[in-house]
Amino acid sequence: MRTIFRRAPFQRALGLAWVIPALALVGVFVYLPLVQNFGFSTLKWDIYSGSQEYVGLENYRKLIGDPVFWSSFGNNLLYAVVSIAFQVFGALLLAALVESIRSERWRRGLRAVYFIPSAISLTVAGLLFYFVYEPNLGLLNHALDAVGLGRFGQSWLGQGDTAMLAIIAMSQWQGFGYSTLLFAVAIQRIPSEIYGAAAIDGTGPIRRFVHVTVPLVREMTGLMMMVTISGAFQVFNEVMVMTGGGPDNSTQVLGTWLYRSGFVRNNFGYAAAIATVLFVITLGVAMAQLWVTRRRRVEW
Amino acid sequence: MRPRALTTFAALAGASVLTLAGCSGGPANAPAADVTAEAEFSGTLSILTKFAGDPLSPYFEDLAAEYERLHPGVKIELIQETDQSVKDKTKTLTASDALPDIYFTWTGNWAENFVRGGRAADLSKVIGPDTPWGRTFSKASLSAFAYDGRYYGIPLYNNGKFMGYNKAAFAKAGVKVPATFEELLSSCPTLRKAGYEPVAFGNKDGWPALHYLQQLFAYTVPEATLQADFRPGTAKLDHPGYVTALKQFKTLVDTCTDTGDGTNGVLYTSAQEAFSRGKAAMYYQEVLEFDNATAGRGLSPDDFGIFPLPVPEGAGGNPKAIEGAPEGYLVNARSPRAALAVDFMKFVTGSKNAEKLSSPPYGQPSTVIGAVTPKTSSKAVFEGIEMVNRAPQLASWLDMVTVPEVADAWLAGGEAVISGDTAPEKVLESVRQASASAK
């Protein structure tokens, strides 16, 4: 017993020594920048002279009165709501439909078809859809023309009332297949006996979906909702490529307004304040995700 | 929070603040560059250009190779960016205190920031108007980079904005070069009937609208008022000419472009291409774009003509003002190779290389006296630069002449005017607010 007592502190110290390098790396590259960013958000920083003036919470006060910050926040929320509708509930429905197909070959084929857009990078997809939406040469206006709906053709990304929806639509196209695939995997994990029992009880496909599939994939549903919301607040690439936040800041999201505040308006302290708010939102969503996945675990 | 965690957090925050203080050294950490010293021909000289992509990128690549051949101990590290990306790149390098030895600059507030921040070397002793090197440049181009009587920039090429037009399209439609803004507007339906988009215009990036606006402001607002309004400290932005110009711009977009209020969804390069393919009759463009416009098969150099944006009737500003400014390079004030940087830029602006820059396919009219001639440059480039040189007032780019916050408000305002979402009066009010906030 004495030997064990003597060796325990040594082993604890040894264990700590092993994790110190990893802790140091995470600390320097993850946590220190976060703290630093908060430090920057309390400064008025002139990148040209290098001078940094402490302004306390002034940047946060300015943020509250900034209409573009709030419209950006609103765009992120809209993004989240539409993404939940399509990439969570829509994808679940589609996955259930695909998985209900008897032919394995068709199931595999359809999964691949839906997944392909997700293999394209967002930047490339954004560029691709920029040309789809282009008012003169774009595929969408030409397609509308071809089916006699030319009067609905317009400059999709050039108008404040359609630009954000056009970007969100592209994003759904890009992310829909990935969510569908994840739901398909979750549905495949449901034991077939449960469906068999439901069939013996005389339940139709809709009731089977509502009373068997939906409850048994709730863990995945919860996870997908959190991932989707978190992703909606980290949107950047597609907006930058397709509109750059315009016209008249109508498609700004928090990420692009942060970028514009820093790199275009030279207000890096204010940009850091937006980054802090963005971090708090995504951290909150991540915490909620952890809580939800811990509480809604399905076991059989 | 538990006491132990609080202590850890406080220590972390303290360390972070110390790190911040350490990182915020700015340009004062290195000794000042001596641009008059004898150049030492060794080491690596870094240069950030705005010449990425075709047809411009080979220009500096060839010069770097030639300079390295002449001076075997020197290696030139080229960082070539585009017009759009050079802005972010420069700011990132500035913030991280890693500017190269030589870097691209616009005139106006853009260059002034580097001068004010102590990041641009004072080149007065080597490029001042009375120095041998300075005498090779036009005085106006040197003055464009002068602040408080000191000369900081090496002007590389001159630039101006003109309406390029397709002579064949005008002839087919029976339209003459418009003498007034109103004539320009009235020519558009005729050109459309003849099968052309009257004016190709793409404003996805926002700044093309600012080019129209700045030229119209120069016509409608007196120069002294404009200059005062560019600086937030003196800005009033209450001259009625601003609203008039915004309304004129909106009328032009609605009357003369096919995309009208959807123009914000069109890339400026798409508009440029529509003109160079012969689909559009006019395209408002920089002298730097002239040779590119006629490089394809759609528009021959003989069919390409230019005229300044016509002046609206009764305009209260300067009717002879032309929008334009030279573009050039600054030498890093803390560069240990400042003398070598100056030598390299003397090589770049030597008469042979200046003529090469002014000739097709580059078509960038050099600021070096005698480099732009009918022999070295295309007819349009020569004609455009002659008009720029004769202009009594040069109106610098709106997104560069004023502080970024105000420029950004103008940019959003230009987009709002095009899409018709905001009245010109409200756009001006938002610019006024941005200016007040930037004080």
What are A31-87's pLDDT values in tens digits? 999 999 999 999 999 899 989 999 999 999 999 999 999 999 999 999 999 999 999
User: Closest Cα to residue A258, out of A76, A74, A126, A69?
Assistant: A69
| Interface check B266 vs A, CB under 8 A | yes
* Nearest CB to A48; choose among B113, B204, B274: B113
Q: What is the pLDDT of residue B6?
A: 39
| Interface check B259 vs A, CB under 8 A | yes
The answer to whether the CB atoms of B28 and A50 lie below 8 A apart is: yes
User: Closest Cα to residue B158, out of B374, B387, B317?
Assistant: B387
For chain B, how far is it from start to end, CA to CA, in angstroms? Answer: 41
CA–CA gap between residue B332 and residue A145 (Å, rounded) = 55
| Distance (Å) of CA B308 to CA B170, B177, B319 | 16, 10, 10
- Residue entry with tokens 């439901």: A198
Whether A190 shows a pLDDT value over 90: the answer reads yes
Q: What is the pLDDT of residue A299?
A: 66
- Is B376 domain-assigned? no
- Is B354 domain-assigned? yes
Same domain for B257 and B400? yes
pLDDT band at A288 (very low <50, low <70, confident <90, very high): confident
Chain A residue with CA closest to B92: the answer is: A263
- Is B235 domain-assigned? yes
pLDDT band at B5 (very low <50, low <70, confident <90, very high): very low
CA–CA gap between residue B105 and residue B285 (Å, rounded) = 20
CB pairs under 8 A between A and B: 136
Average pLDDT value for chain A: 91
Chain A residues within an 8 Å CB radius of B210: none
CA–CA gap between residue B68 and residue B54 (Å, rounded) = 23
What integer is the mean pLDDT of B10-15?
41
Chain A residue with CA closest to B119: the answer is: A48
Whether A199 shows a pLDDT value over 80: the answer reads yes
Same domain for B339 and B298? no
Whether A293 shows a pLDDT value over 80: the answer reads no
pLDDT band at B24 (very low <50, low <70, confident <90, very high): very low
Q: How many CB atoms lie within 10 A of CB B397?
A: 23
Helix (H, G, I), strand (E, B) or coil at B308: coil
Helix (H, G, I), strand (E, B) or coil at B79: strand
Chain B residue with CA closest to A133: the answer is: B265
Q: What is the pLDDT of residue B157?
A: 95
Same domain for B155 and B177? no
CA–CA gap between residue B9 and residue B179 (Å, rounded) = 70
B178-190 pLDDT, tens digit each: 999 999 999 999 9
Chain A residue with CA closest to B407: the answer is: A265
The token pair at B139 is: 């005085």
Chain B residues within an 8 Å CB radius of A257: none
Q: What is the pLDDT of residue B54?
A: 84
Whether B29 shows a pLDDT value over 90: the answer reads no
* Nearest CB to B266; choose among A31, A135, A250: A135
What integer is the mean pLDDT of A236-240?
95
Same domain for B266 and B313? yes
* Nearest CB to B259; choose among A52, A136, A250: A136
Which domain, by its residues, includes B211?
Answer: 161-323+396-437
What integer is the mean pLDDT of B235-241?
97
Stated as kind and residue range, the H or E segment containing B431 is helix B424-437
- Is B382 domain-assigned? no
| Interface check B258 vs A, CB under 8 A | yes
* Nearest CB to B419; choose among A31, A135, A159: A159
The answer to whether the CB atoms of A263 and B408 lie below 8 A apart is: no
CA–CA gap between residue B119 and residue B90 (Å, rounded) = 12
CA–CA gap between residue B313 and residue B178 (Å, rounded) = 12
- Is B147 domain-assigned? yes
The count of domains in chain B is 2
Q: Identify the residue with better confidence: A88 or B139.
A: A88
The answer to whether the CB atoms of A158 and B26 lie below 8 A apart is: no
CA–CA gap between residue B252 and residue B185 (Å, rounded) = 6
- Is B8 domain-assigned? no
Domains of chain A: 73-295 (1.10.3720.10)
The answer to whether the CB atoms of A244 and B88 lie below 8 A apart is: no
Same domain for B203 and B256? yes
CATH number at residue B119: 3.40.190.10
Q: What is the pLDDT of residue B295?
A: 86
Percent pLDDT > 70 in chain B is: 93
Same domain for B305 and B248? yes
The answer to whether the CB atoms of B15 and A32 lie below 8 A apart is: yes
A149-170 pLDDT, tens digit each: 999 999 999 999 999 999 999 9
The H-assigned helical ranges of A134-236 are 139-146, 160-188, 192-200, 205-208, 214-216, 218-233
Whether B265 shows a pLDDT value over 80: the answer reads yes
Average pLDDT value for chain B: 91
The answer to whether the CB atoms of B24 and A52 lie below 8 A apart is: yes
Residues whose CB is less than 8 angstroms from the CB of residue B28 and which lie 6 or more positions away in sequence, other chains included = A50, B118
CA distance B194 to chain A (A): 19
Whether B197 shows a pLDDT value over 80: the answer reads yes
pLDDT band at B428 (very low <50, low <70, confident <90, very high): very high
Q: Identify the residue with better confidence: B195 or B10.
A: B195
- Is B150 domain-assigned? yes
Same domain for B283 and B338? no
Whether B159 shows a pLDDT value over 90: the answer reads yes
Same domain for B294 and B220? yes
Q: What is the pLDDT of residue B8?
A: 42
Q: What is the pLDDT of residue B297?
A: 77
A251-265 pLDDT, tens digit each: 999 999 999 999 999
| Interface check B195 vs A, CB under 8 A | no
Chain B residues within an 8 Å CB radius of A249: 412
> What are the backbone angles phi and psi of residue B380, rounded to the nearest 5°?
-65, -40
CA distance A91 to chain B (A): 30
Chain A residues within an 8 Å CB radius of B97: 50
Same domain for B196 and B209? yes
Chain B residues within an 8 Å CB radius of A52: 20, 24
Q: What is the pLDDT of residue B390?
A: 86
The answer to whether the CB atoms of B16 and A266 lie below 8 A apart is: no
The answer to whether the CB atoms of A247 and B27 lie below 8 A apart is: no
pLDDT band at B298 (very low <50, low <70, confident <90, very high): confident
Same domain for B125 and B238? no
Q: What is the pLDDT of residue B229?
A: 97
- Is B304 domain-assigned? yes
What is the bridge-based pairing of β-strands B43-49 and B74-80? parallel
Residue pair A156/A137 in contact by the 8 Å Cβ criterion? no
What integer is the mean pLDDT of B332-350?
96
Question: What amino acid is encoded at B396 in this protein?
Answer: S
The answer to whether the CB atoms of A155 and B262 lie below 8 A apart is: yes
Same domain for B221 and B349? no
Whether B160 shows a pLDDT value over 90: the answer reads yes
Chain B residues within an 8 Å CB radius of A54: none
The answer to whether the CB atoms of B415 and A248 lie below 8 A apart is: yes
Same domain for B313 and B352? no
What integer is the mean pLDDT of B93-118?
95
